[in-house]
C-alpha cells in the first residue's frame, strides 16, 4: 500500500458470481460479534435473562424451529422471484447490485436500531447523517447548505414544494406582522420576492419568527392559492403530480413544459410559458429542472435555465428553483477533483485519464451541454439526490440538499419530548423534515459508502464513469447493429437518443412495418419475454424494462424516433403511444471491454431467440 493507491470499486461489490463472498462474510460476522460483545459488556455483572433453563424448554425450541422455517420460506420466495440485478444480463430498471459498504453499513447499524429523528436516540448515526449532509453540500458546492437522508426521492420532492410554498407565502405574513420590512411593495412584488431576500427577512425577524410563520401558508390554507404555478418538464416523475396534490397547490397548478429532441426541457417553450402566466398576472411559484429523467436519463439545460431565471429576476420576476436529480445527482462527483472543486473543462480529459474513469480514452462524454448543466447545479435553491439510485445504496435512502440552511426555518417544528434542551446537537432532524422516525441504519449505510468512495473523481466518480461507459458501449452496439436477422426478416433496432447519462432506450421494428400498434406490440411482447414475469428466470438470458411515451405526457417528442423507424406521423396521431425498451446501465462492469464482449453476445442471442418466437 502506498499513497499512489487508487480505489478499485470491484472490491466493493459482492459480485455477479458472489466473487467477494469471503470478504463480505468476514466483515458481516465481525460487525455482528462486535455487537454481541457490546451487549455482554454493558454491565457485565447482569445475569442472563434467557437462561439455559429457558432454552431447554419445549416451547422455546418449538419457537426457534418455527422461526427457522419462516426464514426458509422467505429465502425460497426471494430466490424464486427476485430480480437478478446482480447480473450484467440485467439491463432494465435503475438497479444493479448495491455496494457492500451500503449493505453492511445498514446491517451493522440496524443491530443498534437508532432513530435519527431524535439525536438523543441516535447519537452515532445522527452524526453520520450530518456528515452525509455535508458530503451532499460538497458535491453540490453549497458552502452554506444543509442536507439529509429521507425515505425516497418523492418525499424529497414534496419537501422542495414545502420549502417553496412556505417561503413564497412569507412576504404576505411579513406585510401583516412587520409591514415596514416590505413597505411600498405591491402584491405582485410580494409574490415575486427573491428567495434569498425572504430568508434574510425571516432571519432578521428572529424573535417574531413564530408569529410570521403563523401568518404563512403553513397555518392558513387560504395563503396557498395565489402563489401561482409550478413548472416541470414533460419528462417529470409522477411524484410531482402527487406533490402538487399533497402539498395543497393542486395538480392544475402543475404545468408541464414541452421537450426538445434530446428529451430536455425546451427553453423556448419554457420562456413562452412563463411569459404567458406573467401576462395573465399569475406568478411562478417554482420551476423544476431534471438531471437524469427516469425514462430517458435526460439532463435539462440547467445553465441556460438559470440564465433565463436571471433575466426574469432583472424584471422583478422571481421564483423557486429546484433540481430533481434523484437519479443523476451522484453523477456530479465525476466533475469534482479531490478537493471538491469543479474541474475545468480543459482539464477534464486529463483528470479522467489520471483516475482511470474510462477504458476508452476517447469516449465522447460529457457533451458541452451536459458539462454546463452539471456545473450550474450549485445555483439551485434545492436538489433531490437519491443514494438508493446512483449511490448504489440499498433501499430506502433518498435525500435532499438545500443551498441555504436558513431555509429550514420556514418548515421547522419542535416537539419538546424529542428535542432535548441544552445539548450540542448536529441537527434536530425531526424538526426540519417530513418523517417522524427514521432509520439510523440508512444513514450508516450511506455514510459507510461515502467514507470509502468520496463524492469526487477519485471515488464515486469512477463508479459513475463505469456506468456511463457501459451505457455508451451499449448505445454504440445498438447503433452499429442496426438490425437483427430473425427468421429471415430484418428487425431494426433504433436508440431513442445518444445518452445524456447512463440510460439507453431503444425500439424494435420489423422491416417494412409502418403500423404503430404492431410496433408497440412487438416491443411489449419482447419485454414480456424479457421481464421478471417471463417463465423460468434461470433460462432467461436477458432481462429488461420498458416504458410508454403517450401523447398526453410527451406531446410530439416521439416523432423523431418514429421517423427513423419509418412510422408515419399519421400513425402517431392515431395511436398516441409509443412503447420502448429501457436499459439503465447501472452494472459497474459493462465498461470493461472484456466483460462487455463476454455478456453482450449472450444478450444478443437471447434477444434473437425471443424475437424468433414473435416474428414469423
Q: Please give the positions annotated as active site.
A: 417
Site for a second copy in 327-386 (CB under 8 A): 386
Sole binder of a second copy in the list 137, 247, 529, 600 (CB under 8 A): 247
Q: Which is nearer to a second copy, 300 or 592 (CB)?
A: 592
Q: At a CB cut-off of 8 Å and minimum separation 6, what does 210 contact?
A: none
Site for a second copy in 158-217 (CB under 8 A): 158, 162, 166, 214, 217
576: buried, middle or exposed (CB in 10 Å: 19+, 13-18, 0-12)?
Answer: middle
Instruction: Name the helix (H) or strand (E) containing 325.
Output: none
Number of residues interacting with a second copy: please give it, by CB under 8 A: 186
Q: Which is nearer to a second copy, 380 or 448 (CB)?
A: 448
Sole binder of a second copy in the list 200, 372, 396, 612 (CB under 8 A): 396
Q: Which is nearer to a second copy, 27 or 308 (CB)?
A: 27
What string marks each residue from 61 to 80 as x (binds a second copy by CB under 8 A) or -? xxxxxxxx-xx-xxx-xxxx
402 makes contact with a second copy (CB under 8 A): no
536: left (phi over 0), alpha (psi -120 to 50) or beta: left
| Cα distance from N-terminal residue to C-terminal residue, the chain | 59
CB of 262 to a second copy, least distance (A): 19
What string marks each residue from 93 to 132 as x (binds a second copy by CB under 8 A) or -? x-x-xx-xx-xxxxxxxxxxxxx--x-xxxxxx-xx----
The Cα 284–Cα 295 span in angstroms is: 26
Q: Please identify, among the stretches 27-35, 199-207, 363-371, 564-572, the one whose residues bind a second copy according to the rule CB under 8 A.
A: 27-35
Q: Please identify, among the stretches 35-43, 258-266, 358-366, 561-569, the one whose residues bind a second copy according to the rule CB under 8 A.
A: 35-43
Sole binder of a second copy in the list 279, 488, 538, 616 (CB under 8 A): 538
The Cα 278–Cα 191 span in angstroms is: 11
Beta strands across the sheet bearing 489-495: 90-91, 543-550, 577-584, 503-510, 489-495, 483-486
How many residues are given for the chain?
616
Q: Please identify, among the stretches 42-50, 189-197, 308-316, 370-378, the one whose residues bind a second copy according to the rule CB under 8 A.
A: 42-50
CB of 365 to a second copy, least distance (A): 23
Q: Which is nearer to a second copy, 29 or 310 (CB)?
A: 29
For 527-586, give the secondary structure using H, E and C: HHHCCCCCCCHHHCCCEEEEEEEEHHHHCCCCHHHHHHCCCCHHHHHHHCEEEEEEEECC
Q: Which is nearer to a second copy, 131 or 369 (CB)?
A: 131
Q: Which is nearer to a second copy, 162 or 379 (CB)?
A: 162
Strand-pair category, 320-324 with 284-290: parallel
Strand-pair category, 284-290 with 543-550: unpaired
Sole binder of a second copy in the list 83, 372, 555, 566 (CB under 8 A): 83
CB of 616 to a second copy, least distance (A): 22
Q: Which is nearer to a second copy, 379 or 596 (CB)?
A: 596
Three-state DSSP at 232 gives: strand
C-alpha distances out from residue 289 to 216, 235, 237, 328, 496, Å: 26, 10, 11, 12, 21
| φ and ψ of 573, to 5 deg | -65, -30
Sole binder of a second copy in the list 17, 315, 364, 480 (CB under 8 A): 17
CB of 483 to a second copy, least distance (A): 26
For 464-478, give the secondary structure using H, E and C: HHHHHHHHHHHHHHH
Contact (CB, 8 A) for 547 and 553: no
Q: Which is nearer to a second copy, 153 or 495 (CB)?
A: 153
Contact (CB, 8 A) for 153 and 239: yes
Contact (CB, 8 A) for 370 and 308: no
Place of cell 435539462: 300
Site for a second copy in 146-165 (CB under 8 A): 151-155, 158, 162
Site for a second copy in 476-535 (CB under 8 A): 531-533
613 makes contact with a second copy (CB under 8 A): no
Site for a second copy in 281-300 (CB under 8 A): 294-295
CB of 530 to a second copy, least distance (A): 12
Instruction: Name the helix (H) or strand (E) containing 399.
Output: strand 398-402
Three-state DSSP at 336 gives: strand
265: buried, middle or exposed (CB in 10 Å: 19+, 13-18, 0-12)?
Answer: buried
CB of 269 to a second copy, least distance (A): 22
Site for a second copy in 422-481 (CB under 8 A): 423, 430, 434-442, 444, 447-448, 451-452
Per-residue cell: 76: 425460497
CB of 587 to a second copy, least distance (A): 9
CB of 2 to a second copy, least distance (A): 8
Q: Which is nearer to a second copy, 329 or 430 (CB)?
A: 430
User: Cis (ω within 30 of 0) for the bond into 128?
Assistant: no
CB of 309 to a second copy, least distance (A): 24
394 makes contact with a second copy (CB under 8 A): yes
What string marks each residue from 305 to 324 as x (binds a second copy by CB under 8 A) or -? --------------------
Three-state DSSP at 413 gives: coil
Q: Which is nearer to a second copy, 77 or 574 (CB)?
A: 77
CB of 451 to a second copy, least distance (A): 4
The Cα 533–Cα 92 span in angstroms is: 13
Q: Please identify, among the stretches 83-91, 332-340, 465-473, 513-521, the one whose residues bind a second copy according to the rule CB under 8 A.
A: 83-91
Sole binder of a second copy in the list 314, 362, 417, 488 (CB under 8 A): 417
264 makes contact with a second copy (CB under 8 A): no
Contact (CB, 8 A) for 588 and 9: yes
CB of 487 to a second copy, least distance (A): 25
Sole binder of a second copy in the list 322, 599, 600, 615 (CB under 8 A): 599
Q: Which is nearer to a second copy, 306 or 446 (CB)?
A: 446
Contact (CB, 8 A) for 517 and 576: no
Place of cell 434569498: 196
Amino acid at each position: 500500500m502506498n499513497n499512489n493507491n487508487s480505489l478499485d470499486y470491484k472490491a466493493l461489490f459482492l459480485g455477479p458470481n458472489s466473487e467477494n463472498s469471503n470478504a463480505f462474510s468476514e466483515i458481516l460476522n465481525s460487525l455482528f460479534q462486535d455487537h454481541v460483545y457490546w451487549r455482554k459488556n454493558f454491565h457485565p455483572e447482569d445475569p442472563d435473562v434467557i437462561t439455559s433453563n429457558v432454552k431447554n424448554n419445549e416451547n422455546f425450541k418449538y419457537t426457534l424451529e418455527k422461526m427457522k422455517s419462516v426464514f426458509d420460506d422467505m429465502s425460497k420466495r426471494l430466490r424464486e422471484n427476485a430480480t437478478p440485478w446482480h447480473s450484467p444480463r440485467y439491463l432494465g430498471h435503475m438497479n444493479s447490485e448495491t455496494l457492500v459498504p451500503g449493505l453492511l453499513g445498514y446491517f451493522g447499524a440496524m443491530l443498534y436500531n437508532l432513530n435519527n429523528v431524535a439525536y438523543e436516540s441516535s447519537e452515532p448515526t445522527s452524526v453520520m447523517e450530518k456528515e452525509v449532509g455535508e458530503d451532499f453540500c460538497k458535491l453540490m458546492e453549497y458552502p452554506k447548505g444543509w442536507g439529509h437522508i429521507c425515505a425516497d426521492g418523492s418525499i424529497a420532492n414534496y419537501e422542495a414544494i414545502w420549502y417553496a410554498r412556505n417561503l413564497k407565502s412569507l412576504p404576505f405574513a411579513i406585510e401583516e406582522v412587520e409591514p415596514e420590512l416590505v413597505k411600498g411593495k405591491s402584491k405582485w412584488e410580494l409574490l415575486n420576492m427573491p428567495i434569498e431576500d425572504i430568508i434574510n427577512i425571516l432571519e432578521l425577524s428572529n424573535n417574531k419568527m413564530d408569529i410570521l410563520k403563523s401568518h404563512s401558508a403553513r397555518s392558513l390554507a387560504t395563503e396557498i392559492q395565489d402563489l401561482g404555478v409550478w413548472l416541470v418538464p414533460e419528462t417529470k416523475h409522477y411524484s410531482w403530480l402527487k406533490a402538487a396534490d399533497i402539498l395543497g397547490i393542486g395538480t392544475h397548478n402543475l404545468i408541464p413544459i414541452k421537450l426538445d429532441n434530446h428529451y430536455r426541457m425546451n427553453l423556448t417553450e419554457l420562456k413562452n410559458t412563463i411569459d404567458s402566466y406573467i401576462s395573465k398576472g399569475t406568478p411562478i411559484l417554482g420551476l423544476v429542472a431534471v438531471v437524469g429523467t427516469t425514462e430517458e436519463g435526460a439532463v435539462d439545460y440547467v445553465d441556460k435555465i438559470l440564465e433565463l431565471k436571471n433575466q426574469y429576476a432583472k424584471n422583478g420576476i422571481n421564483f423557486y428553483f429546484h433540481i430533481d436529480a434523484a437519479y443523476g445527482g451522484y453523477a456530479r462527483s465525476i466533475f469534482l477533483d479531490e478537493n471538491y472543486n469543479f474541474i475545468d473543462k480543459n482539464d477534464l480529459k486529463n483528470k479522467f485519464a489520471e483516475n482511470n474513469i474510462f477504458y476508452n480514452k476517447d469516449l465522447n462524454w460529457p457533451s458541452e451541454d451536459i458539462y454546463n448543466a452539471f456545473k450550474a447545479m450549485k445555483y439551485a435553491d434545492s436538489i433531490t439526490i437519491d443514494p438508493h439510485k446512483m449511490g448504489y445504496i440499498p433501499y430506502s435512502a433518498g435525500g435532499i440538499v438545500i443551498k441555504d440552511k436558513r431555509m429550514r426555518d420556514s418548515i421547522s417544528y419542535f416537539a419538546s419530548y424529542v428535542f432535548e434542551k441544552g445539548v450540542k446537537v448536529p441537527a434536530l432532524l425531526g424538526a426540519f423534515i417530513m418523517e417522524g422516525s427514521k432509520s439510523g441504519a440508512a444513514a450508516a449505510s450511506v455514510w459507510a459508502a461515502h467514507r470509502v468512495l468520496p463524492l469526487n473523481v477519485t471515488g464515486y466518480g469512477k463508479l459513475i464513469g463505469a456506468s456511463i461507459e457501459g451505457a455508451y458501449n451499449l448505445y454504440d452496439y445498438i447503433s452499429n447493429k442496426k438490425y437483427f436477422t430473425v427468421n429471415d426478416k430484418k428487425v431494426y433496432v433504433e436508440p431513442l437518443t445518444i445518452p445524456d447519462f447512463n440510460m439507453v432506450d431503444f425500439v424494435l421494428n420489423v422491416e417494412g412495418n409502418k403500423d404503430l400498434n404492431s410496433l408497440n406490440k412487438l416491443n411489449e411482447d419482447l419485454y414480456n419475454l424479457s421481464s421478471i414475469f417471463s417463465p423460468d428466470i434461470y433460462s432467461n438470458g436477458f432481462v429488461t424494462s420498458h416504458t410508454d411515451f403517450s401523447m398526453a405526457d410527451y406531446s410530439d417528442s416521439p416523432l423523431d424516433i418514429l421517423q427513423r423507424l419509418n412510422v408515419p406521423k399519421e400513425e402517431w396521431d392515431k395511436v398516441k403511444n409509443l412503447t420502448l425498451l429501457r436499459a439503465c446501465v447501472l452494472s459497474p462492469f459493462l465498461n470493461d471491454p472484456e466483460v462487455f464482449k463476454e455478456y453482450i453476445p449472450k444478450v444478443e442471442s437471447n434477444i434473437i431467440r425471443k424475437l424468433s418466437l414473435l416474428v414469423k
